[in-house]
Amino acid sequence: MIDEKSIAIFKKLPKPDLVLFDWDNTILDTAPIILSSLNNVLRKYNKPLKKEEDFNSLSGGSLRKEFPIVFGDKWEEAKDFYLKSYKENHLKFFKVLDGGKEVLEIISKNICPIGIVSNKTNYILHEEIDFLKWNYMISAIVGSGDAKLDKPAPDVVYYAKDQVKKLMPNNELKNVWFVGDAPSDVECGKAANCTTIRLSEEWDNNADLTLKNCKELYLMIDNNGKNMYKSID
């Protein structure tokens, strides 16, 4: 059950003109695939392996930012090996998190356009969205390498807004929500003057609102967000 404090905060949020979502472990459960692929490349280069409990500290960073730190001048070779390992399994084993599709549908259909902003390599992000056949409800897709800088830099938000403006030039996109599971999502959203919603088991004082998962966000909108719905002329 969603607590009264969260409901009260939600009701005071500005009506969004655009809602941006992180992808991995916000909409999709890809943690086991990422961890397995990462350990494959760590093993190849004789680096210490990671455990499941390490995952939260690993998630959120892009390969082009994190791999040079770990693999030095061999980072691009290591990145290619990681991506090869990931691509072998991702479409077979990823899972849509509970409420993931529903929250995208309720917002895109009734409230405003949505976008996906991820530090996942851009072409792999597109592969997963294409596989799910979700392009019909997504107006902007931003992966690692699309903008000049990846999250937590605000560049990715500006890039997504530019994509949406090309489709909807009359939409000023004044109020943008950024939804994600990682601190870097909140940092990115804040840097771009977005309303930030953190999906986490623990309350994040840096975010404007914290909910546990996409299912809670879906239920919050369905039960308390009808006033945000587009008017029908």
Is the pLDDT reported for residue 233 higher than 50?
A: no
Range of lowest pLDDT (48-57, 116-125, 180-189, 222-231): 48-57
pLDDT at 231: 66
Overall fold of domain 31-93: DNA polymerase; domain 1 (1.10.150)
Taking the alpha carbons at both ends of the chain, their separation in whole angstroms is 35
HEC string of 76-137?
Answer: HHHHHHHHHHHHCCHHHHCEECCCHHHHHHHHHHHCCCEEEEEEEEHHHHHHHHHHHCCHHH
- For residue 65, the model assigns a pLDDT of 80
Percentage above 90 pLDDT, the chain = 68
CA–CA gap between residue 130 and residue 112 (Å, rounded) = 21
Phi, psi (5° rounding) for residue 29?
A: -90, 100
- In CATH terms, is domain 4-29+97-227 a member of 2.60.40.1530? no
**pLDDT, tens digit (0-9, with 9 covering 90-100), for 62-107:** 788 888 888 899 888 988 888 888 888 888 888 999 999 999 999 9
What are the domain boundaries of the chain?
A: 4-29+97-227, 31-93
Mean pLDDT (the chain, rounded): 91
**Residue 120 scores a pLDDT above 70:** yes
- pLDDT of 1 > 80? The answer is no
pLDDT at 93: 87
**pLDDT value for 222:** 95
- Averaged pLDDT, 106-131: 95
Position 58 scores a pLDDT of 54
Sequence letter at residue 215: K
If phi over 0 gives left and psi between -120 and 50 gives alpha, with beta otherwise, what is residue 39? alpha
User: What are the two backbone dihedrals, phi and then psi, of residue 114, each rounded to the nearest 5 degrees?
Assistant: -125, 160
**165-191 average pLDDT score:** 95
Cross-strand bridge partners of residue 220: none
Give the model's pLDDT for residue 33. Answer: 86
Identify which has the larger pLDDT, 59 or 143: 143
Instruction: Give CA–CA dist 15/171, Å, rounded.
Output: 13
